[in-house]
Every structure is written in structure tokens, then in C-alpha cells.
Amino acid sequence: MIRKLLFCLVAVFGLNSLQAQQVVSIVGTGVNGWPGSMTGAEMDMMTSDFITYTLTNVTVNTGEVKFRYNHAWDMNWGGSGFPT
């Protein structure tokens, strides 16, 4: 019984810690700039279900915008056409 309870606790806390590390952010010349030359911080989007991400009170200007997963460059969404 104790083993089952311990396994369940590890599974629940392990999954929650993985989800807590998932971040989708927005960078580019259309917002705060690119990392290394930003005028502000990288803009992390908010989520409550790790499916839908939102960001409020953001002005998107003319320029490029990229969505980044966990502040990395290897996950790409979108393309050169709008809205792709």
C-alpha cells in the first residue's frame, strides 16, 4: 500500500514539475526585440491548461515575431505568410 501511494505521489509531482517548465514566449522586432538586443524582457505567455496560451496588453509593431518554446530556438511555429 505504501509503495502504491509513493508511486502515485511521484507520478503526480513529476508531471506537475514537467508542466511547470513549459513556457511559450514571444520575441522579435515586432515586440521587444531579439534576445541579446531586447528593449525589455522576453514575453512569457500565460496558460492554465498548457494548451491555450495568452498574453495581454501587448502592442505588436511592424517587424518579425517568433513564438519560442522554453526559450529555445529549435521549436518553430508559423511561416512567412499571415496567419500561418
Residue-wise pLDDT for 19-73, tens only, equals 556 899 999 999 989 988 888 888 999 999 988 999 999 889 999 888 989 998 8
* Residue 40 to residues 22, 27, 54, Cα–Cα distance (Å): 21, 10, 18
As given in the structure block, the three cell numbers for residue 18 are 514537467
| Predicted pLDDT at 45 | 94
pLDDT confidence band for 83 (50 / 70 / 90): low
pTM greater than the 0.85 cutoff: no
Q: What is the pLDDT of residue 24?
A: 93
Q: 71: closest CA among 39, 45, 40, 37?
A: 45
- More confident site: 17 or 32: 32
